[in-house]
């Protein structure tokens, strides 16, 4: 029996897949637990329309992410921090601080988790950090750490 999976089912497929399942498994497990529906003509057309709208939504998100990445690549984020001898900072600059400064000074809201900081910045100077805006879209962010 052909069924459309409504959830990921281990060993059978992912959400939205059309798979062959044994009749008893489908009727006794998949259907009662709302994990799948029968793959008839009406359900197939609904699935195709949902996939089309999902693809369009993802395409729009990708375009927005590319625009955001372009604007981020042109920014220079200036972080003021206290430092001691030889330009070493008291403490460090973290991705949370950078995200907060971006939102306050440049009105660009981005999650701190998307700023890739291999290790906290512990000295004065200019740094280039990677920002992952979307799964396939990344850009470079210029960060300048200056004496407070």
Cα gap 47→19, rounded to integer Å: 13
Helix (H) or strand (E) holding 101: helix 95-105
Domain identity same for 29 and 82: no
Domain identity same for 102 and 77: yes
Q: Which residues of 101-128 are buried (b: 16+ CB within 10 A; e: fewer)?
A: bbeeeeebebeeeebebeeebeebeebe
* Count of domains for the chain: 2
- At residue 19, the pLDDT reads 95
The domain that holds 12 is classified in CATH as 3.40.5.10
- At residue 113, the pLDDT reads 93
Q: DSSP class of residue 9?
A: B
- The per-residue pLDDT string of the chain (148 residues; one tens digit each, 9 = 90 and over) reads 999 999 999 999 999 999 999 999 999 999 999 999 999 999 999 999 999 999 999 999 999 999 989 989 998 999 999 988 888 999 899 999 999 999 999 888 899 999 999 888 999 999 999 999 988 889 999 999 998 8
- At residue 130, the pLDDT reads 93
Domain identity same for 78 and 28: no
Domain identity same for 99 and 132: yes
Write the CB contacts of 62 (distance below 8 Å, at least 6 apart in sequence): 134, 136, 137
CA nearest to 129, candidates 89, 96, 106, 103: 96
Helix (H) or strand (E) holding 92: strand 88-93
Cα gap 36→39, rounded to integer Å: 9
Cα gap 57→6, rounded to integer Å: 19
- At residue 108, the pLDDT reads 87
Full-prediction pTM beyond 0.75?
Answer: no
């Amino acid at each position: 029996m052909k069924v459309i999976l409504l959830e990921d089912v281990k060993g059978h497929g992912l959400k939205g897949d059309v798979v062959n399942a044994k009749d008893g498994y489908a009727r006794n497990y998949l259907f009662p637990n709302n994990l799948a529906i029968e793959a008839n003509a009406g359900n197939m057309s609904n699935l195709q329309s949902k996939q089309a709208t999902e693809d369009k939504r993802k395409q729009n998100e990708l375009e927005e992410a590319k625009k955001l990445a372009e604007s981020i690549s042109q920014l220079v984020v200036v972080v003021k921090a206290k430092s001691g001898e030889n330009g070493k900072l008291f403490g460090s600059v973290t991705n949370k601080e950078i995200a907060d400064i971006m939102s306050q000074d440049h009105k660009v809201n981005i999650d701190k988790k998307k700023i890739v900081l291999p290790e906290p910045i512990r000295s004065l100077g200019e740094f280039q950090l990677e920002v992952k805006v979307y799964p396939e879209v990344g850009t470079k962010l210029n960060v300048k750490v200056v004496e407070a």
